[in-house]
Structure 1
Amino acid sequence: MKLLPLGPLMIDIAGTELTDLDRERLTHPLVGGIILFTRNYADPIQLSRLTAEIHALRSPQLLISVDHEGGRVQRFREGFTRLPAMRSLGMLYDADAQAALDAAADVGFVLAAELRARGVDYSFTPVLDLDYGPSRVIGDRAFHRKPEVVAQLAEALSRGLREGGMGNCGKHYPGHGYVVPDSHVELPVDDRTLDAIQEDMLPYRQTRLDGVMAAHVIYQCFDCNTAVFSNKWITYLRNDIKFDGVVFTDDLSMAGAGVVGDMVARVSTAWAAGCDMLLVCNSPDSVGLVLGQWQVEIDPRRSQRIEALLPKTAAPSWEALQESPRYRKALITIAKLMG
C-alpha cells in the first residue's frame, strides 16, 4: 500500500475489474479519487470486491464516488433499492411538509447505507437546482421550484446521508435549473442578473454542505467563464456563501467544458480557479494526457479537504443492514414514494 496524500484528480475506469493500467493510474500522486459508473457494476458482490481492491491501493484511501441520486440518475440498480426522483419529495412536501422531510431523511439513509455497505464512500447528491421547468438535464432531479423548500428537503436528505455514514455534495453551483441546454452536449448561457441568481443560491446558504459541484454554465452577469473555470464564482462561494468544504468540477470531458481548450488546459484552469477536485471521466486518453503532462504542486490544504470526505465510521455489512429496524422503516417509506 502506497502512502500518498490525495491528489486533485478524480478519474474513472473502463470495466468491472482493475487492470494493471488502472492500478498504475490510481496510484499516481495527482489522483485522489475515482468515480464509478454503471459500466463498472455487475452485481453487489463484484462491487464489494472492486471497492475493496481500490481502497487497498494506497493510504489515505482513494475517495470512491458515484452519481446515485435516485430516479433516472442511479448508477447501481439490480441489487440496490430503486430510489425515487427528488421531485416526488417536493410533490409530497406540497401536500404534507413534515412527511416529506421525514421521507427525505429515509431516502438519504438508504442511499448512503447501501452504498457504504458495498464500499462506496460518497455520492454526488443532493441536486440543489431549482425546478424552473424547461431544463433538459435537471427536470425531475430537482426537489422543487421554491428555493426554501429545496433547502429544507436537501438538509433532510443530508441528515439521512450522514446517518448512513456519508457526506453530501450540493450541485450544480450556482444553479443549473434555469438554462434549457444540457451542458453534457452544449454550453448553456444564463443571462440573468446576479440579483436574480440569488434565488438559486439560497439552498447553498441554508444547507450544511461537505462538497459543492460547480456547473458548466456561463453566467453573463458575473464572469465570461463557466462557474467551473471562474475564480470569481469560486471566491464568491468561499467568501460570500462561507463554504469551506470541497469544490468539485463537473466532468471536464463534457462539451460545456470545452471553452478553455484541451484537457490539460481544463484541469489547469479549474485548479487555478479554486476547484479542489477535478473530474476527468469517460476519456481514458485524456487521463493519460493529464497524468503525463500536467505539472502542479499538490496543495496540502486541498488534500485535507478531500480526505475529510472519507467516512469516519466502519460501514455495517450488507447482512447487518438488512436486519436494521431503521433500514426496514426507510424501505417502507421509499416503497410508498415509488407508488
Structure 2
Amino acid sequence: MSGSGVDEATARLVRGVLWPGFLGRTAPEWLLRELDGGLAGVVYFGQNVSPDPAEVVALSTTLHAHRPEILIGIDEEGGNVSRLEALTGSTLPGHAQLGALDDVDTTRAVGAALAARLRAAGANLAIAPVADVNTNPANPVIGVRSFGPTAALVSRHTAALIEGLQSGGVAACVKHYPGHGDTASDSHLDLPRIDLDLAALEAEHLPPFDAAIAADVASVMTAHIVVPAFGDAPATLNPVPLRRLRDSGFDGVIISDALDMAAIRTTTGSGRGAVLALAAGVDLLCIGNPSNLGPKQGATTDEDDYLEVFHAVCAAVRSGELDRGVVERAAARVAKLAASVAPFGAERPGPVAEHLNPVAERVEARPFADAIRRVVRVRGDVALSATHLSLVDLRDRPTFAVASALDPFAESLSERFAVARVAAGAILCEDEAPLTSLISTIPADHGVVLLADRLTEGGPQRVAVDTIASLRPDAVLVGVGLPLADADALPVPFIDCLAASRASADRVTELLTSSHGEHHQHDQHQRNGS
C-alpha cells in the first residue's frame, strides 16, 4: 500500500505519525496491513463500538495482535460526549456538571472511571479532558463540554481529570490548544477565529493547558482555529502557538484535531493540511471519522481518507518539502507514548500507570448518581401524575463532536412513562403558528416535558418555551445547556441538568416520577461557585 515511488522505509516512517478512523465494528484488511507496516494506531468512534463489550474487546485484541504497541484513542469525556456509551448516553458526569460541583476529588474519580472503561475496551488514550474556557455563551461546539467560564476553575478540574485518567493506565489528551472556548462557530463546519490579544489569551485561555502540563499530561490536541495574535494560519498548522506549547515545558505528543473537519478540509484539504501540521510541530495526525463527512464530503471510503493523507506526507518527505528529521522526531515521540501506557490485557501497568489504582478496575456502571443529584437544580414542582408523556425537543441537531442523534431522555423516561417524542427544533422561527399547531395536537392527559439546550433570553428556544407555556402551563422544562442566570424568569418549572447524558436523564426521570409531597429541598441548593 506504500504506493508507487515510495520506498518502504519512508512509508513505515510516515505510518508512524498517522492515526486514522475506520468503518465498521471489525478491522478492515487495509487497516491490518497498515498496522503490520508500522501504523501508529487508530481512533474509535461510536460507529466502531458494539453494544456487546466482548465484540469491542475482540476488535482491540485483533489490532494489538497486529501491532502490540499502538495507540487506540477514544473521545470519551462523560456528559454529552461518549463513544463507548454512544448507543445509550453517558452514565458519567460531564465537564460542566463537574465544574458546577467543583469537587476535584469527584473529578479525579471520574477520570479513574474513564480510564477503567477505556482499558476494559482495549483503548489506551482518552481524547480528554476539554481544557477550553467557555467564555462565549454562544459557543456552538464547546458549551457544557467545558468545566466552566473561568481559567482557575477549568485549570483545577483539567488537572484532576488528567490525574485520574493517567493513574488508571490511560494517556490523557487535553484539548483544544490554544483554547476553543471563545469561538462563535464550530470547526467541524467552519474555520473559527478568536480575536483576542495575546495578553487576554494568556490570562483567560492558556492557563488550563499550563495546568495540564504541570500534571504531566501525555498529549495535547490542537484546535483548528485562527488566533490573529499568533498569525493567520489555524493553530493546527501554525508553528507559533505550537512553539509556545513546547516553550511551556511540554515534551509529549502533539496531536492534530481531525483533519476531515471543515476548518481544514475546505481550506487546505486533509492531505496538504497534514503536511503543514507536521511542519508546524504536530506529531500525530488524527485523520478523522469516515462515518461523518470525510475529506470528500461522504463520496469516499475510510481507506481513501487515509491514503489521501498518507500519500501527501510521503510525497512531501520524498521531495524534501517536509524535513525527514521532523517526521522522525514526531514518530519517536508517538512510539515512546505507545510504549508507556499500560499494556493491553496485562496486570503490570506501564510508566504512565505506575500509580494505578486497582479500585478503578471495579468501577460500578453508575457510580456517580449522588454527584448528579447534587448538581442538578430544580425550580418549582416538577413531578408529573400522568402516565403518558410528550417529550418536546426544542434543540437543533447535535454537533459532530457529540456524534449521536440518540436521545437518552426519551429512553430513560420510557421506563416510567408511555413517551411520544416530538421533534420541534426544526420549526422554531419568528412565526409561532407551526409550533402552536404542533403543541395543540398533544392530548390533554399527556404530561409535557420540554427539552432545551439554548435558553438565552430572546433566543428561539426561549421564545418557544414562552409560547408553549401559554398553551400548556403544566409543562416542565429540562435544560441541558449552560446554566441560566435568570431561571426565576422562566414561566414553567425547570430542571437544570448541564448535560444531555443518560446520567442526567435518569435523574430527570426520578424527579418527574416523585410524589407531589416530596419537594426535593436538597436539589434547590446553589451549586458551588454559582
Tell me if TM exceeds 0.5.
Answer: yes
**1:290 aligns to 2:309 (yes or no):** yes
In 2: Cα distance, 1:235 partner to 1:87 partner: 30
Find the residue that maps to 1:65 and give its secondary structure.
strand
- Change over 3 Å in CA distance of 1:317–1:74 after alignment to 2: farther
Structure possessing the higher relative contact order (Cα contacts under 8 Å, 6 or more residues apart) = 1
- Residues 155-187 of structure 1: per-residue CA shift (max 9 Å, x gap): 111111122111211110000010110100011
What stretches of structure 2 of length at least 5 have no aligned partner? 1-8, 295-301, 318-323, 348-357, 374-530
Identity of aligned residues (%): 31
User: Among 187, 196, 199, which residue is 1:183 paired with?
Assistant: 187
User: Among 108, 111, 117, which residue is 2:120 paired with?
Assistant: 117
Counterpart in 2 of 1:271? Answer: 278
- Residues 217-244 of structure 1: per-residue CA shift (max 9 Å, x gap): 00012210000000111111111x2211
- Residues 218-272 of structure 1: per-residue CA shift (max 9 Å, x gap): 0012210000000111111111x22111111100110111365232211101010
Counterpart in 1 of 2:210? Answer: 205
Letter in structure 2 aligned against 1:200: H
Counterpart in 2 of 1:321? Answer: none
Q: Where do residues 136-151 of structure 1 align in structure 2 (5 Å cutoff)?
A: 136-151=140-155
Q: TM-score, normalised by structure 1?
A: 0.88
- CA shift for structure 1 position 50: 0.4
Counterpart in 1 of 2:99? Answer: 90
Counterpart in 1 of 2:26? Answer: 17
In 1: Cα distance, 2:341 partner to 2:33 partner: 27
Letter in structure 1 aligned against 2:123: V
Find the residue that maps to 1:84 and give its secondary structure.
coil
- CA shift for structure 1 position 290: 2.6
- CA shift for structure 1 position 287: 1.2
User: Among 23, 35, 43, which residue is 1:35 paired with?
Assistant: 43
In 1: Cα distance, 2:345 partner to 2:36 partner: 27
Q: Where do residues 279-318 of structure 1 align in structure 2 (5 Å cutoff)?
A: 279-281=286-288, 282=290, 283=294, 284=302, 285-295=304-314, 296=317, 297=324, 299-310=327-338, 311-314=340-343
| Higher gyration radius (CA) | 2
What stretches of structure 1 of length at least 5 have no aligned partner? 94-99, 319-323
- CA shift for structure 1 position 79: 8.9
Counterpart in 2 of 1:157? Answer: 161
Q: Where do residues 169-180 of structure 1 align in structure 2 (5 Å cutoff)?
A: 169-180=173-184
Letter in structure 1 aligned against 2:122: G
- Residues 282-304 of structure 1: per-residue CA shift (max 9 Å, x gap): 23222122333432347343223
Counterpart in 2 of 1:97? Answer: none
Letter in structure 1 aligned against 2:308: L
- Change over 3 Å in CA distance of 1:315–1:293 after alignment to 2: closer
- Change over 3 Å in CA distance of 1:48–1:244 after alignment to 2: same
Letter in structure 1 aligned against 2:206: M
User: Which sits farther off after the overlay, 307-316 or 255-264?
Assistant: 307-316
Letter in structure 1 aligned against 2:155: A
- Change over 3 Å in CA distance of 1:21–1:178 after alignment to 2: same
Counterpart in 2 of 1:335? Answer: 369
Letter in structure 1 aligned against 2:283: D
Q: Where do residues 60-139 of structure 1 align in structure 2 (5 Å cutoff)?
A: 61-77=69-85, 82-93=91-102, 100-132=103-135, 133-139=137-143
Find the residue that maps to 1:212 and give its secondary structure.
strand
